[in-house]
Structure 1
Amino acid sequence: MRLKYYIIAIMALALTACSDFLEPDSISTFDTNYVFSNVDDARKGVNAIYVQFGVDGFRSRLSNNMTGNTDIERQSGWTSSGDRYQIWDLNALSSNGDLRQFWNAAYTAIRDANIAIEGIEASAALNSSDVLISKTMYHLLGEAYTLRAYWYSMLTYHFGDVPNVRLAPKAGNDFFLGKEDRNVILSQVIEDMMSIEEKMLWAEELPYGIEQVNREFTLGLIARIALQRGGYYLTPALNMERTSDYQTYYQIAKEYTEKLINLKDRPLPEDFRQVFLNNAKFVTPVNDDILFEVPFAIGNGDVGWNIGVTVQGGATASHNYGSGNNYMAIPPSYYYSFDTLDTRRDVTCAYYIVNTDFQEEFVNGGISNISQGKWSRYYLDAGPGASSAKGTGINWPMLRYADVLLMHAEAENELNGPTAAALESMARVRRRAFDSALWDEKVDNYLASISTSKEDFFDAIVNERAWEFGGEMIRKYELIRWGIYSEKMAETVQTLKDMADSAFEGTGPYADLPDYIYWKRNESGRFTVLNPNRKIAAAPDDTWTRESWLLGLRNEVTIYQEWITKDWRNYIDQGPKPGVARYIFPIPEEAVTNSQGVLANDGYGF
């Protein structure tokens, strides 16, 4: 069942459209006591919080566009001064429209969450003698707490210290709030969720399953934000630090991942590809890998338009699937970090496109344009129209059970080293990645090799999360909280240079990788590559097309392709402080102006 939050008639609630949170809209003539006096209207009131997932500030910005560049996803921000390019290049101005849209979406969602929280907490229905009514109201309260926590997590990742709005807008409130310490905010939202999660419902108990916030997602989000709170963050002085109580939050992450594992464990589905195909097939299984996914209605959502395998469409195309591109490419350094037998690689990374004849062919741009293969409008059961582009309706996964298992392994290792429990959580994720006949070597022996120290196991966690979540656009947040953002960017650039040199010189650590690849369409018309893993002298016959591969990393003018030397330069040594990636962005000037002098863009080298 698909929850079409964005076409629910919430106008009847008079929870009106968004404006800057410093100038909130009136909640009009409807009294919140009435709105939250019964389950049906309270449900609509909470639905209002979800609306911001359907605006550009989330659906095509925050979710899958604003989170490059990393060691596993990249885009060339230096080629334009446009809003998204400024963000990719870590040099966004306070006038940046994408940041303004995100800011307004976040604070509108927070406003609507505050309205719902105050309304439900004051409602007699919360403690109704009718057990079902009371349970439903408590669950709705948990949804509101959880959604508010998500938006504050994102705000603090992108802007650092931000205004902490925890009251619904009403006459007499102070609407001109200054910045609150990000650690205070994160601690509060963690405590909020901890106080309510036991009264929430599991996805299988809810009418819309994983298309609405559920208890398992809340448990997972507690752990995710606890790791954020216990991790490193950028201070206004441009230092990466973490607080002295960081282990307290690793303990929370450990406890709440274990709580979910103990209460609602589930096997990871064996077919890794199917997890993401389900998004395009509008299939939403409960007790599966995805715990919560944003439910885009048909005509909404940009998955398969600006992320995923490219489809060339338009009025002259022979197919009905429309057009979709990929804003974020995958660097070959990531592609070749996979074990060649890891089934996740060819799900995550694709170097083919679908042309106007609805045939698969080699990707434009070759080695510089490997795409995120987990999604595509190409995977839809029916084309949405030859001239369609945005609005595919493909849902966006927000948290998976595999993430819970790896967070558990990470937290356990941080507190106690690579214990048997930490090893088993990682093993569960790796087992799905390899054929069972390979488990002795690829799971058991591998885990034994990285279980000798806390440091080795942490490095393995960094790698495993890359292989598991490529293209899901959460890597940036991990590199930040681990305090290794700049370090990993420098490592990526060096690896790409070494690959380029090996291809041209025929020696070096990557000399065996393909300088050229050979491809064709097989008997079923699918794109297939003869030599994805190794260099070969030539194809066996002329049915194969040869394309430059790692040789494409160099040229005669700049030696290394400019995207290698420029995509990450502001993350490494050309930002305000060499060795520190200034991932924090300026508060939008609209918010600064409307704050009447309370907010300012100070610190962080602004």
Structure 2
Amino acid sequence: MVLAFFMNGCSDFLDPDSLSTFDTQYVFSNVDDARKATNAIYAHFSEDAFRSRLSNNMTGNTDIEQNSGTGSTARYEIWRLEAQPNNGDLKIVWEVAYRAIRDANIVIEGISSSAALNSTDAAIQNDMKQFLGEAYTLRAYWYSMLIYHFGDVPFSTKAPKPGVEFNLPKEDRNVILSSLIQDLINAEAGMKWADELPFGIEQVNREYTLGMISRLALQRGGYFLKPDMTMERKSDYLDYYAIARDYSKKLIDLKDRALPKDFRQVFLNQSKFIVASNSDMLFEVPFAIGEGDVGWNIGIRVDSGSHPYGAGSNYMSVPPTYYYSFDKKDIRRDVTCGLYFRDKDFKQQMVAVGSISQGKWSREFLNPPPGPSTDKGTGINWPMMRYADVLLMFAEADNELNNGPTPAAKEAFKRVRQRAFDEADWAIKVDQYIAAASSKQAFFKAIVDERAWEFGGEMIRKYELIRWNLYDTKINETITGLKKLADDAFYGLGTLPDYLYWKYDTSGKLVILNPDTKLLAAPDASWTRFSWLIGLHRTPNAADPSAYQTWITTNWANYTKAPVRYIMPIPSVAVTNSLGLLKNDGYGFNF
């Protein structure tokens, strides 16, 4: 009965089912049942609220990831920052988040009051401490997402039972974050490393929890949008940068690892179902075959047809300004940005300049192929945090605290950047590059850029732009950059390609002759000309230089004014069920 409750639950967190004390005591009296109860928290990752919404769909638009803004369904409203309280996607995210929080609270309370937590059997005690840390960490993730998307939200930390009030008002988001951070600080030492766990990085582990302390601390120490439409950072923000630095350094000191040299393999592992501990990936959401939307709504596009790989699209395209922001020698660019798709015959074809895809994942990498009629449910895991993130969080926090980059900050930064280039290029592309970023501001700018190049497509950029208070700045830079690319192509200026020339090699792979260079003509007739940057104009042969593709002027239209109103309205059902405690007030809402 209790496990059925964990897995099913109710449709609204304000009206929870209750558990008897007897049931809870029984479940958390032994390791096997406590493990099953903790697993119930993970089950919410398999719902659309996470697998397609929070993991990727709701995390655009940014300077490195963009969505089409022309539709009328729930996700288009969110992408345009025009969502209404009756938006269905917001409703499922809100409800599933609070169901996950409820289940985490049950586990936290159950284990905390269980004799097994203080068992004289060290193995039992260690397992229970691990489960407790998992529950605290998963709860912290869901609250972090609620705060980024809804601002101040109700803060529930108690398991549902008779006499506990769950119709709660909003709590200050900074109070929530401070509490969550302390919970993880208290729990992390009792947790196990990924290589000590049966499911490794497919299970919340000590590495990820330490990384989450740093990520939450930077969120708490960063900027946030207030209801009066101003961006604020609390006066104690340096205290939280210190936490971010200390706990990222703690992971580096206790469980350091070399970043794998092959950047592509880090993500290919997920499509090949290879789980590697003590490597770059710290935690990834484990999707079973038949679950997960990676390779269906994000990744290299594959059209259904006469092949066994099924169909997958890409909701998040890459703006060409991002593609051309990379150094030409940066290995990450061709991994992150997909310039081709697979047609119905499984042949590689060029994508339009406005449809560059997230190249880190593709259903074409699945082995065996999933079948010609498949689409969703690829089973490809979703990355939640990598060690490269921890290194860059340490570098960022240390730079902020010391008013400039220390040798330790530069070393952490260097470890990430070195992987992006062949060793022969390190002297210029790494050493000189870092040496030039000698001031606090210059090093911070380098961090902002490096995080873009390192984590493109992993859909964390939105949250970074928010906490840095750079959202509108980076969006305006993107729009200006796109217009310049369009104008340069239109007027024949610059050195970047107006047209690309491509052909198939002997193995059938699509080869592009000039991805970075303007050519007036192909060297011979074997190459096919393809409209590229010239396509950023709707009418490339017309005399109107302002005729940009509409997505350039519409996709980010509501992101250009400071501050960006990234906060979404609380769903109508939650407002109604709160009996007056919750309101959609402030943020310029007019419902």
In the alignment, the residues of structure 1 paired with residue 213 and residue 26 of structure 2 have an alpha-carbon distance, to the nearest angstrom, of 31
Q: 1:223 maps to what in 2?
A: 214
Deviations 1:41-89 (A, max 9, x none): 0000111111110000000111011100000000122x12210001100
Moved over 6 A (4+): none
Query: Of the candidates 325, 331, 352, which is equivalent to residue 337 of structure 1?
Result: 325
C-alpha distance in 1 between matches for 2:32 and 2:506: 54
- Deviation digits for residues 330-349 of structure 1 (CA, Å, limit 9, x no counterpart): 00000000000000000000
SS at match of 1:560: coil
Contact 1:344 1:468 in 2 (8 A): yes
Pairing 1:374-413 to 2, within 5 Å after superposition: 374-413=360-399
How many Å separate the matches in 1 of 2:368 and 2:459? 26
Give the AA of the match of 1:526.
K
Alignment-derived partner of residue 16 in structure 2: 24
Count of matched residue pairs = 583
Q: CA deviation at 1:10?
A: 8.3
Contact 2:296-2:378 within 8 A present in 1 as well: yes
- SS of 1:399's equivalent in the other structure is strand
* CA deviation vs aligned residue, 1:15-54 (integer Å, no higher than 9, x gap): 5334210011334797010000000000001111111100
What are the residue-to-residue correspondences of 1:525-544 with 2, within 5 Å?
Answer: 525-544=508-527
Which residue does the alignment assign to 2:474? 488
Q: 1:10 to 1:326 in 2, by over 3 A?
A: farther
Partner of 1:232: 223
* Distance (whole Å) between structure 2 residues aligned to residue 388 and residue 418 of structure 1: 49
Q: Give the one of 168, 172, 178 matched to 2:163.
A: 172
Q: For 1:10 and 1:123, how far apart are their aligned partners in 2?
A: 16
**2:347 corresponding residue in structure 1:** 359
Gaps of 5+ in 2: none
Task: State whether structure 2 residue 101 is matched by structure 1 residue 115.
Answer: no
The aligned residue for residue 51 of structure 1 is 43
User: What is the letter of the counterpart of residue 156 of structure 2?
Assistant: V
Counterpart of 1:394 in 2: which secondary structure? coil
**1-structure distance, mates of 2:306, 2:2:** 40
Report the 3-state secondary structure (helix = DSSP H, G, I; strand = E; otherwise coil) of the residue aligned with 2:354.
helix
Amino acid in the other structure paired with 2:400: E
TM alignment of 1:183-198, pairs within 5 A = 183-198=174-189
Q: 1:126 is paired with a residue of what secondary structure?
A: helix
Identity value in percent: 64
Measured in 2, the distance between the counterparts of 1:10 and 1:321 equals 40
Q: Distance in 1 between matches of 2:8 and 2:88?
A: 22
Aligned to 1:444: 431
Residue 105 of structure 1, CA deviation: 1.1
Measured in 2, the distance between the counterparts of 1:362 and 1:14 equals 47
Where does residue 562 of structure 1 map in the other structure?
A: 550
Q: How does 1:17-166 map to 2 (within 5 A)?
A: 17-27=9-19, 31-77=23-69, 79-166=70-157
Distance in 2 of aligned mates of 1:129 and 1:30: 23
- Using a 3 Å threshold, how does the CA distance of structure 1 residues 195 and 21 change in structure 2: closer, same or farther? same
Per-residue CA deviations over 1:462-505 (Å, capped at 9, x if unaligned) read 00000000000000000000001011101110011111111111
In structure 1, what is the equivalent of residue 261 of structure 2?
Answer: 270
Q: CA deviation at 1:383?
A: 1.3
Taking a change above 3 Å as real, the CA distance of residues 15 and 357 of structure 1, as seen in their structure-2 partners, is closer
Separation of aligned partners in 2, 1:528 and 1:234 = 46
1:524 to partner: Cα distance = 1.4
Q: Secondary structure at the match of 1:340?
A: coil
Given that 2:2 and 2:19 are in contact with CA atoms closer than 8 Å, whether structure 1 keeps it comes out as no
Confirm or deny: 8 A CA contact 2:437 2:443 kept in the other structure: yes
Shift of residue 361 of structure 1? 1.1
Give the match's secondary structure for 2:59: coil
Per-residue deviation at 1:116? 0.2
The aligned residue for residue 322 of structure 1 is 310
Aligned-partner SS, 2:514: coil
CA contact (8 A) 1:95 1:588 kept: yes
Which residue of structure 2 aligns with residue 575 of structure 1? Answer: none
Q: Secondary structure at the match of 1:523?
A: coil
Contact 1:13–1:30 (8 Å) recurs in 2? no
Aligned to 2:299: 308
Q: Distance in 1 between matches of 2:240 and 2:580?
A: 34
Judge conservation of contact 1:164–1:185 (CA < 8 Å) in 2. Answer: yes
Alignment of 1:493-512 (within 5 A): 493-507=479-493, 511-512=494-495
Counterparts in 2 of 1:506 and 1:153: CA distance versus 1, 3 Å: same
CA contact (8 A) 1:412 1:419 kept: yes
Q: CA deviation at 1:324?
A: 0.1
CA deviations 1:400-444 (Å, max 9, x no partner) are 000000000000000111111111111000100000011001110
The question of whether the paired residues in 2 share the 8 Å contact of 1:10 and 1:44 is answered with: no
Say if 1:321 and 1:385, in contact at 8 Å, map to a contact too: yes
The answer to whether the Cα contact below 8 Å between 1:319 and 1:356 also exists between their aligned partners in 2 is yes
Q: Does 1:348 align with 2:336?
A: yes
2-structure distance, mates of 1:528, 1:376: 19
Give the residue type in structure 2 aligned to 1:353. Answer: F
The two structures, once aligned, show a CA RMSD in angstroms of 1.3
CA distance in 1, matches of 2:311, 2:538: 31
- Render the CA deviation track for 1:133-170: whole Å, top value 9, x for unaligned: 00000010000000000001000000000000100011
2:559 aligns with: 571
Specify the SS of the correspondent of 1:306. Answer: coil
**2:276 maps to which residue?**
285
Distance 1:10 1:217 in 2: 28
Question: Relative to structure 2, which stretch is displaced further, 560-569 or 470-479?
Answer: 560-569
1:460 to 429, 433, 446: 446
Name the SS for the 1:292 alignment partner.
strand
Letter in 2 for 1:418: P
Matches within 5 A, 1:2-21: 11=3, 15-21=7-13
SS at match of 1:464: helix
Aligned mates of 1:49, 1:343 — CA distance in 2: 37
Give the corresponding residue for 2:405: 418
- Tell me which amino acid in the other structure corresponds to 1:114: N
Segments of 5+ residues of structure 1 without an aligned counterpart are 1-8, 573-577
Partners of 2:346 and 2:32 lie apart in 1 by 45
Note if contact 1:161-1:179 (Cα within 8 Å) is conserved in structure 2. yes
Choose the corresponding residue for 2:246, options 225, 249, 255: 255
Change (3 A) 1:138 1:579: same
Distance in structure 1 (CA, Å) of the matches to 2:292 and 2:19: 27
Q: C-alpha separation between the residues in 2 aligned to 1:488 and 1:546? A: 32
Letter in 1 for 2:186: S
Structure-2 change in CA distance of 1:32 and 1:156 (3 Å): same
Name the SS of the counterpart of 1:518 in structure 2.
strand
Per-residue deviation at 1:555?
A: 2.2
Contact 1:15–1:27 (Cα < 8 Å) also in 2: no
SS of residue in 1 equivalent to 2:503: strand
